[in-house]
Amino acid sequence: MKKILLYDTTLRDGSQSEGISYSVTDKLRIAKELDFLGVHYIEGGWPGSNPKDMEFFLKMGQLSLKAAELVAFGSTRKAKNSATADANLKAIIKSKAKVVTIFGKTWDLHITDVLGTTLAENLKMIKDTVGFLVSRGLTVFYDAEHFFDAYKANPRYSLECLIAAQDAGAKAIVLCDTNGGMLTSEISRIVAGVRPKIKAYLGIHCHNDAGLAVANSIAAVEAGAGMVQGTINGYGERCGNADLIPIIANLKLKLGFDCIPSAKLKELTAVSHFVSEVSNMRQRSDQPYTGASAFAHKGGVHINAVMKNSKTYEHIDPASVGNRRRILVSELAGKSGLLLRAKELELDLSKGDPQTKKILKLVQKLEHQGYHFEAAEASFELLMKRALKKYKKFFELEGFRVVIEKQSDKRITSEAIVKIKVSGIKEHTAAEGDGPVNALDNALRKALKDFYPTLAKMHLSDFKVRVLDEKAGTAAKVRVLIQSHDQLDTWSTIGVSENIIEASWQALADSVEYKLLKDKVLSPGVRSK
């Protein structure tokens, strides 16, 4: 089985993605997760470029990695410097990293127009830099920046750059599509042509400006590359880098290459979501293999087929990458979707059961009114269990009132008053909040906390409002989606109304009901006096 080395540059290239700014603590957490996944190299940053990266390397020196090696990044010496006097190279040595990746120019356009030097001097810069670091006992990889553009413009000289790095002691030569504009056929042709000329390990580094970074990386491996550079979730400057998540899955599951331990493949989804969380980036629902929608089925024909044989609409077993199948219940799903969802919830429904037809009609009616149950699975579970009388409501609303007041000092305050009944006991409570929904949430949980102490572990994490009919103006229906979480789970609920507070209450009440239902609360506790 061919072994492919994985080189992650999330902490350096990925940090250049718009909207991402890692703290040293963030970088340490991600590095530990990458090591846990089993990648071979973790590029930590550029020690000579900023104090944060140097601090990261010094702190990483106190940790013990189990699978990965830490890599420092830098550039070839400047045209007028000697390698021994170059400040960036001194910083790399100070970082104490044992592996170094040096990027250098290979495109004559960059050498003359950007560096403002000669082609001959650029070759000396590559050779001197690699040789100096090797002489200090470091393992050196050479990133041939803009290699594919360089090869198309001047194949002889671009190869001379690679040979200069190799002769100076570089252990790996990495071909970079820095502009991200190469077609897959070009990558295959050029890598296959270069492979026989290079004795060192050959790597590939692709950007995604043409939307082909993953395909180009796979094509390079098939053409002879033995190392793939990329980032988790494809983070990176402009359109991003090659996404290591689908690359790993494709290498393991489609091509049978050895890149991470087989036991770690099922961790792909968890790692992908972890890195997006630490990066403060919304997880792409349509991300191949690990997105929430990667194995989601909505159309009735698709659902019916998947129930009979999962291979009909799933190219792999979702569990193999740590993901799961999702049946999206909507007016498009038909009875098959309902039956499969009922089975997941351990509810007794059959195709000929009158209840099945009744629930389907109810779903179609509500979705016509603006409900969107595929985005609110918790509300849908409650709907089914209410229809089948599978649980008793945990509380009854007798009324609520929300007061919003703008005071003389321009402060705006929100207060909610809630009247509920729990097992015949009435509770009348008021609470303030940052806004009307927050005030309602505070008041409801304040009223219920003595009856249901487990609600103290539940928190709202997201709140979305969408106007369903913009032409209706202020009289339009709105859809409110609320996401909640506790120590173990995350769930979403929905409400629809012409009144945004009423829609918010529906979603909020469902969220509380679902929390109590999933915690298997059988009856309220005794209220404290």
405 with 480, same domain: the answer is: yes
254 with 147, same domain: the answer is: yes
pLDDT band at 528 (very low <50, low <70, confident <90, very high): very low
φ and ψ at residue 196, rounded to 5 degrees: -65, -20
What element of type H or E holds 190?
A: helix 184-194
Q: Is residue 343 part of a domain?
A: yes
Of 171, 174, 128, 167, give the one whose Cα is nearest residue 147: 174
Q: Which residues of 257-294 are buried (b: 16+ CB within 10 A; e: fewer)?
A: bebbeeebbebbbbbbbbbbebbebebbeebebbbbeb
Q: What is the pLDDT of residue 281?
A: 85
**Residue 62 corresponds to which tokens in the numbers above?**
């106190």
Q: How far apart are CA 505 and CA 154, in angstroms?
A: 66
Question: pLDDT per residue over 216-266, tens digit each?
Answer: 999 999 999 999 999 999 999 999 999 999 999 999 999 999 999 999 999
The set of residues, in sequence order, having a beta carbon less than 8 Å from that of 200 and lying 6+ positions away, is 166, 170, 171, 172, 173
**Residue 20 corresponds to which tokens in the numbers above?**
């991402």
Question: Do the Cβ atoms of 321 and 265 come closer than 8 Å?
Answer: yes
CATH code of 444's domain: 3.30.160.270
Of 335, 331, 342, give the one whose Cα is nearest residue 374: 331
Residue 475 has pLDDT above 90, yes or no: no
The DSSP annotation for 421-457 comes to: EETTEEEEEEEEESSHHHHHHHHHHHHHTTT-GGGGG
Instruction: Read off the DSSP letter of residue 66.
Output: S
Question: Do the Cβ atoms of 398 and 425 come closer than 8 Å?
Answer: no
316 with 274, same domain: the answer is: no
Question: Do the Cβ atoms of 13 and 45 come closer than 8 Å?
Answer: no
Q: What is the pLDDT of residue 143?
A: 98
Domain that holds residue 44: 5-278
Q: Is residue 425 part of a domain?
A: yes
For the segment 274-301, the average pLDDT, to the nearest whole number, is 85
CATH code of 21's domain: 3.20.20.70
Mean pLDDT of the chain: 89
Question: pLDDT per residue over 291-336, tens digit each?
Answer: 988 988 776 677 778 777 888 888 999 999 999 887 766 545 556 6
265 with 226, same domain: the answer is: yes
Cα 423 to Cα 199, 385, 394, 426, distances in angstroms: 78, 20, 8, 8
Weakest mean pLDDT among 30-39, 83-92, 484-493: 484-493
410 with 346, same domain: the answer is: no
Q: How far apart are CA 492 and CA 378, in angstroms?
A: 6
Q: Is residue 284 part of a domain?
A: no
Of 457, 460, 420, 454, give the one whose Cα is nearest residue 523: 454
Q: Is residue 35 part of a domain?
A: yes
**Residue 291 corresponds to which tokens in the numbers above?**
């997105």
Q: What is the pLDDT of residue 101?
A: 98
Q: How many domains does the chain have?
A: 3
SS3 257: coil
103 with 158, same domain: the answer is: yes
Where in 344-411 does DSSP place strands (E)?
A: 396-406
SS3 360: helix
357 with 423, same domain: the answer is: no
Q: Is residue 85 part of a domain?
A: yes
- What's the predicted TM-score (pTM) here? 0.71
Higher pLDDT, 370 or 74: 74
Q: Is residue 374 part of a domain?
A: no
360 with 428, same domain: the answer is: no
For the segment 37-47, the average pLDDT, to the nearest whole number, is 96
**Residue 364 corresponds to which tokens in the numbers above?**
């179609």
Cα 193 to Cα 3, 111, 166, 186, 220, distances in angstroms: 21, 23, 17, 11, 11
44 with 117, same domain: the answer is: yes
151 with 31, same domain: the answer is: yes
Of 462, 413, 452, 458, give the one whose Cα is nearest residue 435: 413
Residue 527 has pLDDT above 60, yes or no: no
Identity of residue 373: F
Question: pLDDT per residue over 176-218, tens digit each?
Answer: 999 999 999 999 999 999 999 999 999 999 999 999 999 999 9
Q: Is residue 529 part of a domain?
A: no
Q: Is residue 526 part of a domain?
A: no
Q: What is the pLDDT of residue 141?
A: 98
Residue 280 has pLDDT above 90, yes or no: no
Q: How many CB atoms lie within 10 A of CB 348?
A: 10
259 with 334, same domain: the answer is: no
Weakest mean pLDDT among 389-398, 467-476, 495-504: 467-476
52 with 133, same domain: the answer is: yes
Residue 96 has pLDDT above 90, yes or no: yes
